[in-house]
Structure 1
Amino acid sequence: MVEAAIPEDLAAIGEIYAHYVQHSVATFELTAPDDAEWKQRFASVTEAGLPFLVARVHGEVAGYAYCSPWKARPAYRYTVEDSIYLAPAAAGRGVGGRLLDELLARCADAGIREVIAVIADPGPQNPSPFLHRRRGFTDAGRLTGVGFKHGRRLDTLLMQKTLS
Structure 2
Amino acid sequence: MTKLRTLSESDLPAVTAIYAHYVVASLATFDETPPDLGTWRAKADGIVGAGLPFLVAEVDGEVAGYAYVAPYRPKPAYRHTLEDTIYLSPAFTGRGLGRLLLGELIAQAGRTPARRLVAVIADSGDPASARLHRACGFEEAGRLRGVGFKHGRWIDTLLLQRDLPG
Q: TM-score, normalised by structure 2?
A: 0.96
Cα distance in 1 between the residues matched to 2:13 and 2:112: 26
- Specify the code of the residue in structure 1 equivalent to 2:160: M
Which residue of 1 is the match for residue 85 of structure 2?
83
Count residues in correspondence.
Answer: 163
Specify whether residues 21 and 34 from structure 1 end up closer, same or farther in structure 2 by C-alpha distance, changes over 3 A only. Answer: same
| Secondary structure of 1:25's aligned partner | coil
Matched, 1:30 2:32: yes
Partner residue, 1:129: 130
The answer for the alignment partner of 1:42 in structure 2 is: 44
Q: Secondary structure at the match of 1:55?
A: strand
SS at match of 1:109: coil
Cα distance in 1, alignment partners of residues 32 and 127 from structure 2: 19
Give, in angstroms, the shift of residue 75 of structure 1.
1.7
Shift of 1:114: 0.5
User: Of 93, 96, 107, which residue of structure 2 is paired with 1:94?
Assistant: 96
TM normalised by structure 1 equals 0.97
Q: C-alpha deviations, 1:119-158, integer Å up to 9, x for none?
A: 00252x2300000000100000000000000000000000
Q: CA RMSD in A?
A: 0.9
Corresponding position of 1:66 = 68
How many Å separate the matches in 2 of 1:153 and 1:106? 34
The residue matched to 1:102 in structure 2 has which SS? helix
Q: Indicate the larger mover: 145-154 or 68-77.
A: 68-77
CA distance in 1, matches of 2:9, 2:97: 21
Q: Aligned to 2:117, what secondary structure does the other structure show?
A: strand
Structure-2 residue corresponding to 1:7? 9
Q: Deviation per CA, 1:11-46, whole angstroms, max 9, x where unpaired?
A: 000000000000000000000000110011001101
| Structure 2 match to 1:157 | 158
Q: Following superposition, which runs of at least 4 residues in structure 1 exceed 4 angstroms of deviation?
A: none
Percent identity over paired residues: 53
Bigger shift: residues 153-162 or 114-123: 114-123
Listed as ranges, the gaps of 5+ residues in structure 1 are none
The SS at the match of 1:145 is: strand
Q: 1:159 to 1:122 in 2, by over 3 A?
A: farther
Tell me if structure 2 keeps the 8 A contact 1:122–1:157.
no
- 1:112 matched to 2:114: yes
Q: C-alpha separation between the residues in 2 aligned to 1:78 and 1:92?
A: 32
